[in-house]
Amino acid sequence: MLFKKLQEDFLQKKPFVAYCKPASTSIHYLEQQDDHLHFTTDFTESGFVFAPFEASEKAVLIQGKPEIIAIEHLNIEWPVEPLDLSISESQKQHHLELVERAVKYIKESSLQKVVLSRKQTARILATSPVVLFKRLLNKYPEAFVYLWHHPQVGTWLGATPETLLSLNGYKFETMALAGTQKYEGNMEVNWGLKEQEEQELVTRDLITRLNTFDLKKLVIQDRETYKAGSLLHLRTCITGSFNRGSLNLSKLIRALHPTPAVCGLPRAEAQSFIKNNEGYQRGFYTGFLGELNILEDQSKKRSRRNVENLAYKTLTPVTCLYVNLRCMKYKAAESEIYVGGGITKDSVPGDEWQETVNKAQTIASIL
């Protein structure tokens, strides 16, 4: 019934979002009754936020608390043949030259890393985005899988492996994710010096930014190899807590976004290089999305003797945001797939190109 409802919302041009958290068996669903465009002002609102890459641009908000629905039988409709992402030689050459330019600039400046991306159009049959959403749910159960639609903005869907921020009261979780290689059936892989240094840059920057806040606790876990679909990444999970009364969510989000994993280091210099060289507007690609200040009942179970206390619930604001990677902007005739990779002084243009080709398959495999 849920997927039928999503299809109706889409056809009736109602704003809505449906999403499944990593390793969850439930879909969260939130709809808006009119087509008004709501924005966040200071991230004190409650609902589902959809923010662009450019921090200066407004983040769209679908207000309310999501309904949680157990996943029903998906009844997946798969394409008879996988989509062939035909790429022109000029597109490939443009990206190779862009990477070469970035490597040269990094060697001659204070820029340490810059993330360069490209947009690729894909001609697909007029398949409903709801069908594509179901395919993503089936294929990437360990990712944050979503379908987001607003008639004034467009339709986006994706399966992202990266958490920007998970905040439960004063306790938080985040991650430093960088480095990519293809999964070949083995998790015990060797990582090159370029990937290790790139991931270390991201981790150090994240720790530095978190340490500007009034923290009660900060725990940096060991670096690990993390599988995301058909790709492997290097990941360092970071957890901790803020001292009570010290948390400013808006300030925290602005400190974290855009991360070095989607922008670069130093941030301002990387942003300038991207703006002047990438050649297109990213829009919501490499922005962030997710639950914002959703009140959840986290009361501990009490004994029968204290049953009268059950009337007093403990409502805690929960925020769970993800980086918008491995995503596409859906259009009936020609959709747009977005992919990118981190460039350092040791980057090899041909390798970086192949990395974007591999990443594009995350979405292309369900088209």
- Report the number of distinct structural domains present in the chain: 1
Domain annotation covers residue 119: yes
Find the CATH number of the domain harbouring 12: 3.60.120.10
Model confidence, pTM: 0.92
pLDDT of amino acid 145:
97
Task: Label each residue of 61-95 as H, E or C.
Answer: EEECCCEEEECCCCCCCCCCCCCCCCCCHHHHHHH
pLDDT of amino acid 78:
63
Domain annotation covers residue 278: yes
pLDDT of amino acid 77:
65
Calpha distance 70→32 (Å, rounded): 21
**φ and ψ at residue 45, rounded to 5 degrees:** -70, 175
Q: What is the tens place of the pLDDT at every residue in 260-307?
A: 989 999 999 999 999 999 999 999 999 999 999 999 887 665 555 555
Domain annotation covers residue 325: no
Task: Label each residue of 291-354 as H, E or C.
Answer: EEEEEEECCCCCCHHHHHHHHCCCEEEEEEEEECCCEEEECCCEEEEEEEEEECCCCCHHHHHH
The mean pLDDT value of the chain amounts to 90
Calpha distance 257→259 (Å, rounded): 5
Which residue has 């790709």 as its token pair? 231
Helices 129-139 and 2-11 sit at what angle, rounded to 10 degrees? 140
Domain annotation covers residue 131: yes
Q: What is the tens place of the pLDDT at every residue in 222-248?
A: 999 999 888 899 999 999 999 988 889
Nearest to 137 by CA among 2, 233, 293, 320: 2
Model confidence at 66, pLDDT cuts 50, 70, 90, reads: very high
Domain annotation covers residue 310: no
Q: Which of 54-58, 296-300, 316-320 has the lowest mean pLDDT?
A: 296-300
Domain annotation covers residue 317: no
Residue 118 predicted with pLDDT over 80: yes
Residue 73's domain comprises: 2-300+332-364
Model confidence at 364, pLDDT cuts 50, 70, 90, reads: confident
Cβ-contact 262, 288 below 8 angstroms: no
Residue 311 predicted with pLDDT over 60: no
Domain annotation covers residue 306: no
